Structure 1
Amino acid sequence: MVTTYRNKKVLVIGLAKSGANAARLLQDKLGAFVTATDIKPFNENPAAQALLDDGVRVITGKQPLALMDEDFSLVVKNPGIPYDNPLVDRAEKKHIPIITEPELAFEISEAPWIGITGTNGKTTTTTLIAEMLNAKRTEGKAYLAGNIGIPASAVAEKVTPQDTMVVELSSFQLAGTTHLRPHIAVLTNIYSAHLDYHKTRANYIAAKMKIVANQNAADFFVVNWDSPEWQGLSHQTKGQVVPFSRKQVVSNGAYLKDGELYFQGTPIIAAEDIRIPGAHNIENALAAIAAAKLAGQKDNDAIAHVLKTFPGVKHRMQYVETWQNRKIYNDSKATNIVSTEVALRSFPGPVVLIGGGLDRGFTFEKLIPLLKDHVRAMVVYGQTKKLMAATAKQAGIENLTVVDTLDEAVPLAMHASRPGDVVLFSPAAASWDQFHTFEERGDRFIADVNQFIKENPS
């Protein structure tokens, strides 16, 4: 039993799912004296109301700096709260340890961890690993947790040594870890992302690589071998490096050769048999195969069955419907340009692309070659609509429509499509100009598609 926090004063900043669960765990199970603070007013804050009912001290509607005059031994912060937040900054200056909720989860977990991070492909890879480990399993269970939307601490409370925790870890979460040590760490890839939070690419990479900071020779680092930069990052682990590659044979890892996916020389599945489309999903499958094999899954047929039947994760290249010989895909998770590049490469064309969202000051010129090769028509909306429209014009796309909202964009994209087209919602921007989350945005897209099909039946 963890006694680290008994009779210690702990401040929890931010009451999203992970913060609320961390506060409850610390007070009810670990014996801490918890103060929880959240900027949302109390009457609009069900999490705060529930914590107050459980006896947790709650401060809402503000985050007073005067809190830092109290004798806190630890701060647990919501991963999305930046380190230049006044309360967090003051805690740092007072040398109070600051962690995120996965660190707490790791401390209490009795089950071994597989941790997955990367810029793209985390959720698909995480889900595939859990599915593979649960296939034909006779003892224990592989549990999904983390950035996938399930607080790791909630799962860690119930797991046993016979179970496995398969945990998606974002850079925001990893930045607040000190002792976290996955037995198997997976890096899907690293591109430039979240620089508004991390300030520099170097900081972003450093946060990601905390996933291997505490590994030892008994642990494993599954890493994408298709970039010299990512190969170089493998030197940061003391664990055993197990590469995966779509482009070359890596005999001690997972790789694609002559249309077949292998692990350490043994064929697992033909690439054409994998249900979810795209070269990026070949990479996700290779990463998942390597992690599952290292975690003890001996049945290659079980692994192959998962890859043949797995339909994809919602909002990530999610097949929605076919309407009059047009296939419609929801890729709302494409909150950056790299994700949309990956999506476009998955379809030879022709594509009718819907894009747009929060303006973070980026331009979209990197998309031009793919727009030229894959896209026949575009509908753009949101804060980035003018920037995306300018990029479309540079790419020579004449069938271009500019609107304000996603609700306007969907029917126009459907009308612009022709039989045989793919209608792809891959925004290349965050959702926060019009939606709270990319999930909410993706659900709206699906609802708009279904409404259009209802009004325009085949």
Structure 2
Amino acid sequence: MMKNITTYQNKNVLVLGLGKSGLAAADLLNKLGANVTINDFKVPEDLSIVHQLEEQGMKVVLGSHPLELLEQCELMVKNPGIPYTNPLVAAAQKQGLTIITEPELAFMVSKAPVIAVTGTNGKTTTTTLITAMLNQNRSQGHAYAVGNIGVPASEIAQKATADDVLVFEMSSFQLMGIQTFRPKIAVLTNLYEAHTDYHGSRDNYVAAKQRILMNQTDEDYFVANFDQAEVRAIAENSAAEVVSFSRKDTADAMVKDGAIYYKNEKIIAVAELRLPGLHNLENALAATSVAKLMGVATADIVEVLSTFTGVRHRTQYVTTIAGRKFYNDSKATNMEATKQALTGFSKNVILLAGGLDRGFTFDALVPDLKNKVKALVVFGETADLLAQAGETAQVADIIYTKDAQTAVKAAYQLSQPEDVILLSPACASWDQWKNFEIRGDKYIEAIEELKTEVEEV
């Protein structure tokens, strides 16, 4: 079903990283006639995948990043998480080698129109909402959520038709490696401080995010959060037609008289939204804008907004135990995400937070801790820093524990009926877990164990 392109035929391509996106990229390149070499610093425990790749005619080099791999190389496809300071990547840049990421390949072969969502927070929820709206009562084709959401885009692009839609969640890391990628609709949810350890500065990070617009023309659309002056300024320089959304001001999609409106049409009362928090109201406004641009009926938009309860690990309601509601927001890997999660709740929050120390304090969280949090359970490398913020905010109880898993019992012991127990770490998970998904899953496991114990008593 994919476009039959000859761009990569007989080209020597180095795929850096043996993860999901790397395997998908290698498979696609192999089908497109490239000479593929895959390199990863780690050696996987299960070598069967390596044998499969070799049987398909690909070369696999594991355990190091030898610079001689660049000698015959004409293109590098890089895992987005590998920084540009990596010696092999730096050497490739120095010799002027083109370096792309897997979404670029997917775009080049896809017959399906492309929608792309980026921003510091809200990407996954907005991507999921858009996909659900596009699939609601759809008579022909299918909308697929791909990219940073965990599904390699080039895997889906191979089978997608012109009747389908690819809804890309795009990280700044992925956007660094695009060249021709051009979404019909681009969405920028918001911009906050994030990933400066990877990009080197906030300016570099924002520049990476803006790349989502770089190939758009006046035939395309840019859905922009006009509650942020920085995003408004970016919109002013956009070649695409700008569609604004705002929960505070007049915009194409806005909140008026307690309801979401799109271009003067009432869509749904805010009270009918199932997702808690002001940040999710913004996500709903962005998704509604895209759905309207794609011709989705208002009734189908309403159906999704009134039933969608959240994405796993993103302010996800888990269960209620003896009157205590548990929420999993493990995806909150920065302070802004935690601040936004707290907006969705009343004052009775027991917050579970902590993780990788990126060298900053949590002073910015103090007002939110003061207004919302009755107890704080901290863990990981940042436990002391979060405890200091809690003390400044005069949080009544601050407890240290090992990790998100052990924090469950500690939080329950501090709690009373009607309390909310919220995992929203404000930090990356890499000091203890491989990713935020594992952290969230371990948290949920601990809640399920606790529920069994409480019910047996």
Normalising to structure 1: TM-score of the pair?
A: 0.97
Runs in 1 of length 4+ with deviation above 3 angstroms? 42-50
Equivalent residue in structure 2 for 1:63, among 62, 65, 70: 65
Which amino acid letter does the alignment assign opposite residue 4 of structure 1? T
CA contact (8 A) 2:401 2:410 kept: no
**Counterpart residue number, 1:6:** 9
**Counterpart residue number, 1:265:** 264
Distance (Å, rounded) in 2 between the aligned partners of 1:385 and 1:364: 11
> What do residues 7-49 of structure 1 show as CA deviations (whole Å, max 9, x unaligned)?
110000011100111011101x200000000111154555434
> Residue 386 in 1 paired to residue 378 in 2?
no
CA contact (8 A) 1:147 1:167 kept: yes
CA contact (8 A) 2:103 2:147 kept: yes
CA contact (8 A) 1:357 1:384 kept: yes
**Counterpart residue number, 2:442:** 444
Which amino acid letter does the alignment assign opposite residue 168 of structure 2? V
Distance (Å, rounded) in 1 between the aligned partners of 2:274 and 2:281: 10
> Residue 19 in 1 paired to residue 22 in 2?
yes
Which amino acid letter does the alignment assign opposite residue 59 of structure 2? R
Which amino acid letter does the alignment assign opposite residue 36 of structure 1? I
How many Å apart are 1:345 and its aligned residue?
1.3
CA distance 1:210–1:47, shift in 2 (3 Å): farther
CA contact (8 A) 2:275 2:310 kept: yes
Distance (Å, rounded) in 1 between the aligned partners of 2:67 and 2:48: 24
How many Å apart are 1:346 and its aligned residue?
1.2
Distance (Å, rounded) in 2 between the aligned partners of 1:243 and 1:368: 31
Distance (Å, rounded) in 2 between the aligned partners of 1:120 and 1:281: 10
Equivalent residues, number:
453
How many Å apart are 1:72 and its aligned residue?
1.3
**Counterpart residue number, 1:226:** 227
Distance (Å, rounded) in 2 between the aligned partners of 1:405 and 1:282: 31
CA contact (8 A) 2:127 2:168 kept: yes
Distance (Å, rounded) in 2 between the aligned partners of 1:443 and 1:49: 31
**Counterpart residue number, 2:87:** 86
How many Å apart are 1:369 and its aligned residue?
0.6
Distance (Å, rounded) in 1 between the aligned partners of 2:202 and 2:132: 33
Alignment of 1:295-374 (within 5 A): 295-297=294-296, 299-374=297-372
**Structure 1 alignment gaps of length 5 or more:** none
**Counterpart residue number, 1:417:** 415
**Structure 2 alignment gaps of length 5 or more:** none
Between the aligned residues of both structures, percent identity stands at 51
Distance (Å, rounded) in 2 between the aligned partners of 1:284 and 1:112: 21
RMSD, aligned α-carbons:
1.1
Distance (Å, rounded) in 2 between the aligned partners of 1:288 and 1:317: 18
**Counterpart residue number, 2:113:** 112
How many Å apart are 1:390 and its aligned residue?
1.0
Distance (Å, rounded) in 1 between the aligned partners of 2:284 and 2:51: 42
Distance (Å, rounded) in 2 between the aligned partners of 1:144 and 1:408: 33
Which amino acid letter does the alignment assign opposite residue 135 of structure 1? Q
**Counterpart residue number, 1:158:** 159
> What do residues 181-240 of structure 1 show as CA deviations (whole Å, max 9, x unaligned)?
000000000101000000111100111111010000100000000011110011232110
Which amino acid letter does the alignment assign opposite residue 86 of structure 2? N
Larger mean Cα displacement after TM superposition, 117-126 or 70-79 = 70-79
SS at match of 1:406: coil
Distance (Å, rounded) in 1 between the aligned partners of 2:230 and 2:427: 25
